[in-house]
Amino acid sequence: MDKKVSFGQQSTKVKQLSDIIEQDIMMGKYKTDTSLPSINYLSRAYNVSRDTVFKAFSDLRERKLIDSTPGKGYYVTNRQEKIFLLLDEYSPFKNTLYNSFVRKLSTSYKVDLWFHQYNEHIFNTILHEAIGRYNYYVVMNFDNEKFSPLFNKITPSRLLLLDFGKFEKENYSYICQNFDDAFYGALSQLTERLKKYRKIIFHLPVGSKHPLVSAESFRQYCHDNDFISEVSGIEDIDDIESGTVYIVIRQTDVVNIIKRSREKGMKCGQDFGLIAYNDTPAYEVIDDGITALSINWDDMGKKAAKFILSGETVREYLPTEVHLRNSV
């Protein structure tokens, strides 16, 4: 062994050993298609158990940095695969998804990130140019209800649909949000809190790309629970009403409502309520905390990476979680 290595407490020995071997591969110590040292050798060299080395090798194999064959042992593959990642638009929670996705993959994967801004022409142009150039495609569609015909040009086992998807997609893998039943269920968890307000307003500006099925579920929830309700399509909320709960999609609306309420001397969570869609770290510290309805974006990134690493079909709707804070 070239140098002494002291294992720290920040992570498991398996993770630290696999990181060391990965770094050695990336630095060229172990070349592509050449054998790695034996499990016994590495066990002695790093003063760890054979089981630790075996688990480190298993981790590296799962991430497709190494492989093994009878008689040859473990050897370096180091084949860099290209991943096409097309998201709708930048936001803090999409950044969480991206970072989680990239961290789960190894450096043998190159991820090209694009945004289509919910523009169908941009979406089609970017995807059309990408088809045939990548090993895997991870795509957020431009619309919740339209299946892009371009998807038919991608081998189903190489395509993962994210987030949107209220259309027939049984031949493809997907990890999506549920914008109707799950939204209803999340609101149901807040019913006792909401009862102290006289009215609930769901702010869904005209032209918003948020799926309109959420408005239908909102109306049904309010009808079932005898709440006075309104779906507002105006661009900005200028007047904050006492005794009203506002459900908003955009982060800019959260900021605007808080600013307007301060101008009127109103206290969020007391004089009025506020619920945001899609949680961000900022919502933990704005005022006394903003209640948010959100899927786990970190989990979505990890599951998307698992699809790449395992090649296994995934068809899953992530649950909408309630992050309860003092704004209601």
Q: 278, 294 in Cβ contact below 8 A?
A: yes
Q: Is 141 exposed, middle or buried (0-12, 13-18, 19+ CB in 10 A)?
A: buried
CATH of domain 81-177+297-319: 3.40.50.2300
Tell me phi and psi for residue 210, to 5 degrees: -65, 135
Classify 62 as helix, strand or coil.
helix
Q: What is the pLDDT of residues 34-87, one digit of tens each?
A: 889 999 999 999 999 999 999 999 988 887 788 888 877 898 886 678 899 999
- Provide the 10 A C-beta neighbour count for residue 11: 11
What tokens appear for 34 in the block? 């050449």
**What is the overall mean pLDDT for the chain?**
91
Q: What does pTM read for this prediction?
A: 0.76
Q: Please, what CATH class does the domain formed by 13-76 belong to?
A: mainly alpha
Rg (C-alpha) for the chain, rounded Å, is 24
Residues spanned by CATH 1.10.10.10 within the chain?
13-76
- Cα angle, residue 269 at apex, residues 281 and 191 outer, rounded to 5°: 95
Topology of the domain covering 181-294 = Rossmann fold (3.40.50)
Amino acid type, 34? T
Reduce the DSSP state of residue 149 to 3 states and report it. helix
Average confidence (pLDDT) per 10 residues, the chain, 328 residues: 54 86 79 88 92 92 83 78 94 94 88 96 95 91 90 92 86 93 97 97 93 95 98 93 97 95 96 96 93 97 95 94 97
Question: Using one digit for the tens of pLDDT, what is the confidence trace for 115-143?
Answer: 999 999 999 999 999 998 888 999 999 98
Strands 81-87 and 244-248: unpaired
Domain with CATH 3.40.50.2300 in the chain: 81-177+297-319, 181-294
Closest CA to 294 of 309, 277, 311: 277
Phi then psi for residue 123, to 5 deg, are: -55, -50
Provide the residue type at 131 as one letter: I
| DSSP sequence for 269-291 | TTTBEEEEES--GGGGTSTT--E
Pairing mode of beta strands 66-69, 73-76: antiparallel
Torsion, Cα of 271, 211, 99, 116 (10° steps)? -130
